[in-house]
């Protein structure tokens, strides 16, 4: 039978562990930026995970992230010399965009948002979002493992129908096979499509992998943007992800006016882990965003092209 002292020590240890978890910090860059970042540069893919008491998670989520505050994001961007930011509502909030708005308000005029909506979202709510700085909606097929092309086509078509009157873009987190399945819809869309994280390609499969040519063609057409973000989601070759170089260069060569860059901070891990329940805390990926940003001159050696990717394209797409 445990002694009173051992029970007390165990309780104290548990309290310390809970306190440590409650105050876990999102990543900050360890490597200084090694090139001149142009004024008004934009990080086009981030998330805010506010105080769970104020911003509760969606009960149907597939993972539970650690906290990530606006103050931590501001420190990240100060270190990276990034002025503007796009905050995207992650799947863990369902259609509740309040944590994203909380982060946007902290950054003021330098922030834009991408919302998640459903058929219950009213036009009046979308009008209010537009006033607050939202400029697009996100369809997240990847986190939920949705691969049925009929589902993807239906959801993209419905999203375009909602967005065409207000000129917002439709952002998709999906795979190359889904991009191929909706290619005709994207080409016919009156609003831009924006593909997250290199379109979900797998670096190990090579440039000839199925669907990559379709992604390049959509970028070349001008109908789609690609976020060259989250390289670690496509590549296993940390910390510089050298096998991503040919993909980044191919997309930039296709149409440098349709490429934007993002950190994917705070790097949430939504992957399936054996034994981890959806309500268990999923630690962030350990990513050095300074080192990640330093890959941009490798992908785009010309300063004028980097300015398009970091400044001009985000300004056009998000209305800065």
Catalytic residues: 264
Beta strands in the chain (DSSP E): 42-46, 64-65, 84-88, 111-115, 134-140, 169-173, 193-195, 224-229, 259-262, 281-282
CA–CA dist 207, 81 (Å, integer) = 32
Say how many C-beta atoms besides its own lie within 10 A of residue 53's C-beta: 6
**Count of other CB atoms within 10 angstroms of residue 148:** 11
Measured CA to CA, the distance from residue 230 to residue 292 in angstroms comes to 9
| Integer CA distances (angstroms), 282 to 21, 81, 96, 278, in order | 11, 29, 20, 8
> Closest by alpha carbon to 91, among 242, 270, 227?
270
Question: In the numeric block, which tokens belong to residue 222?
Answer: 């001008």
């Amino acid at each position: 039978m445990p002694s009173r002292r051992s029970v007390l020590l165990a309780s104290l240890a548990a309290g310390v562990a809970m306190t440590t978890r409650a105050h876990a910090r999102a990543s900050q860059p360890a490597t200084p930026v090694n090139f001149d970042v142009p004024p008004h540069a934009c990080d086009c893919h981030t998330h805010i995970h506010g105080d769970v008491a104020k911003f509760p998670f969606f009960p149907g989520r597939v993972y539970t992230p650690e906290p990530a505050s606006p103050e931590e994001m501001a420190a990240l961007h100060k270190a990276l010399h990034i002025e503007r930011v796009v905050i995207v509502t992650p799947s863990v909030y369902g259609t509740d965009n309040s944590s994203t708005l909380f982060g946007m308000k902290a950054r003021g005029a330098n922030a834009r948002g991408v919302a998640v909506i459903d058929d219950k979202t009213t036009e009046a709510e979308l009008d209010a979002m537009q006033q607050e700085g939202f400029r697009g909606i996100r369809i997240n097929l990847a986190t939920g493992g949705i691969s049925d092309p009929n589902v993807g086509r239906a959801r993209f078509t419905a999203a375009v129908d909602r967005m065409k009157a207000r000129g917002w873009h439709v952002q998709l987190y999906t795979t190359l096979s889904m991009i191929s399945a909706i290619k005709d819809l994207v080409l016919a869309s009156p609003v831009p499509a924006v593909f997250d994280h290199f379109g979900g390609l797998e670096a190990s499969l090579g440039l000839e992998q199925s669907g990559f040519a379709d992604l390049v063609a959509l970028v070349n057409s001008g109908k789609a943007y690609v976020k060259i973000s989250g390289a670690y989601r496509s590549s296993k070759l940390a910390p510089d992800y050298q096998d991503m170089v040919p993909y980044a260069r191919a997309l930039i060569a296709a149409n440098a006016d349709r490429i934007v860059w993002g950190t994917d901070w705070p790097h949430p891990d939504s992957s399936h882990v054996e034994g981890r329940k959806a309500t268990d805390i999923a630690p962030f990926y350990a990513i050095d965003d300074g080192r990640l940003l330093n890959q941009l001159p490798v992908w785009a050696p010309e300063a004028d092209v980097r300015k398009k990717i970091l400044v001009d394209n985000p300004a056009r797409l998000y209305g800065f």
